[in-house]
Amino acid sequence: MTRMAHGTQRHLPQTSGWLTFAGTLAMVIGAFNVIDGLVGLFNDHYYLVGSNKIMVFDFTSWGWFWLILGAVQIAVGAGIIAGRMWARVIGVMFAVLTAIGHIAFLRAFPLWSVLTIAMSILLIYALTAPPSRARG
């Protein structure tokens, strides 16, 4: 809250560095997922799994899943930085979905998946720690 020259008060939105961090991290995770998707679509033999199946889907299905999820996460990251509450809620849901998806993908590319799971957990914290009315 600030005091104006003529005696009125104006409420400024509370800012949070966590939300700026969360929006940036959401865009990085989204970019990683887009890369996963493109690799799954164009280079099936890149991953370490011998058969062409991970759980129930083949690499092409996983490629589309990661590509679409990553593109949406990049847009959600921009919404988080812009201070939109809907983006925070969707960001948490997609971070959980990403972590679960990378658990299933763990056998195909373990280091990348562990890194993405860790970043998703950090993203969930960064989105839920700031006050609900805070902006990025």
CA distance 9 to 7: 7
Query: pLDDT tens digits, residue range 59-97?
Result: 788 889 989 999 999 999 999 999 899 999 999 999 999
Query: pLDDT tens digits, residue range 11-61?
Result: 656 667 889 999 999 999 999 999 988 988 888 666 655 555 555 667 788
pTM above 0.85, yes or no: no
Query: pLDDT tens digits, residue range 83-135?
Result: 899 999 999 999 999 999 888 878 777 888 899 999 999 999 999 988 777 77
Helices (H), the chain: 17-42, 59-81, 85-104, 110-128
User: In this structure, what token pair is assigned to residue 88?
Assistant: 């925070």
